Amino acid sequence: VQLVQSGAEVQKPGASVKVSCMASGYAFSSYYLHWVRQAPGQGLEWMGMIKPDGGSTSYAQNFQGRVTMTRDTSTSTVYMELSSLRSEDTAVYYCTRGVIGSYGPRLDSWGRGTLVTVSS
């Protein structure tokens, strides 16, 4: 399993950023992909998830209205776009595969992360 994320971004406050995550080594449509972010020196924060088969999404309330997750099944790639960026959005954004089990999903494979810096 490999999740390859796009490179670091620097954006101005108010702008948008779109991070990609290309999956390989497994059946892309069979597993949800989640996005988790980590601000500098801080803990992990779940942002949302997308089901590649059909494209249904679920977002954390904190990001509702600002985040959009999409997928391209032809390239096994998912995207996370975050708009109206503010300095507090400076963080590493991880793409991670969710495996469904009897006790909910577990995040068993992670991309290397994409650093998004929001600065004027």
Q: Which two tokens stand for residue 101?
A: 């089990």
Q: Least CB distance from residue 12 to other proteins, whole Å?
A: 27
Nearest to 28 by CA among 11, 53, 49, 4: 53
* Contacting residue, 40, 61, 88, 120, with other proteins by CB under 8 A: 61
DSSP 52-68: TTT--EEE-GGGTTTEE
Q: Whole-angstrom Cα distance, residue 81 to residue 74? A: 19
Is 94 near other proteins (CB under 8 A)?
A: yes
Q: Least CB distance from residue 3 to other proteins, whole Å?
A: 10
Is 46 near other proteins (CB under 8 A)?
A: yes
User: Which residues of the chain form contacts with other proteins (CB under 8 A)?
Assistant: 36, 43-46, 58, 60-61, 94, 96, 101-108, 110-113
